[in-house]
Chain A
């Protein structure tokens, strides 16, 4: 979670609020923040660390590991209408990459701002060309995009 906390300002600049969830109590969250995370991230964790001791939120989001009684590394991007636009679930041993999460948020924000008039090709980053879905694009994506453009 320190990786997310470290990029919190970037997320705030994009108008994104963060909530983290685990089965630990909110008291343990405080201990983890005070004793470890605050040593990794200046000022400690700036967002709400929610406690889901019975796994109710985890079940509702499909990230509950029944056998181990913990939550998988589920990451959900929720838009201002409360709709899940992207989700990613990793098993515990592998951590996430926050850069990719931020890239996806930027892409979804662009799509939303264009009211769906624009879409982003594979590997798109801010500033790169977007696609304009429509009859003219069918069969002609190759003219405006190809895999070698992915950076």
Chain B
């Protein structure tokens, strides 16, 4: 996970078929809706993704592929400050 400079653009994650094939600059870029979506299925390869993250006091970029060779627990949840 590399430390990421803080910009003003609205940064978001990329995933699945939408992963950029070259370059990493996606700050402030317009994004089109995905047509062919890659859907997660048990027994199949997990869709790759890359996303801005908060990790132990710093802002970083996290991707699934950086944990290749390790077990990963991936947890989605509805939102910060929710009570469940």
Query: Across the interface, do A29 and B53 meet the contact criterion of CB distance under 8 Å?
Result: yes
Q: How far is the CA of A29 from the CA of B41 in the complex (A)?
A: 28
- Chain A residue numbers with a CB within 8 Å of B43 are 83-85
Instruction: Tell me if B39 and A21 are in contact (CB < 8 A).
Output: no
Alpha-carbon distance A151/B80, docked complex (angstroms): 35
CA distance A19 to B70 in the complex (A): 12
Q: Is B5 an interface residue (CB 8 A)?
A: no
Partner of A16 from B12, B56, B59, B71 at Cβ < 8 Å: B71
The count of chain B contact residues (Cβ–Cβ below 8 Å) is 52
Per DSSP, chain A at the interface is: mixed
For the complex, is A111 an interface residue (Cβ under 8 Å from B)?
no
- Which chain B residues (27-57) contact chain A, with CB distance < 8 Å? 31, 34, 37-47, 49, 51-56
Point out the residues of chain B lying under 8 angstroms from A96, CB to CB.
Answer: 75
Pairwise interchain contact B54-A82, C-beta atoms closer than 8 A: no
Nearest 4 CB-CB pairings of A with B: A60-B16, A29-B54, A32-B80, A60-B15
Q: Name B's A-contacting residues (CB within 8 A).
A: 1, 10-18, 31, 34, 37-47, 49, 51-56, 59-60, 62, 64-65, 67-82, 84
Chain A contacts to B: CB under 8 angstroms: 1, 4, 11, 14-33, 36, 44, 46-54, 56-63, 65, 68, 70-80, 82-87, 92-96, 101, 105, 109
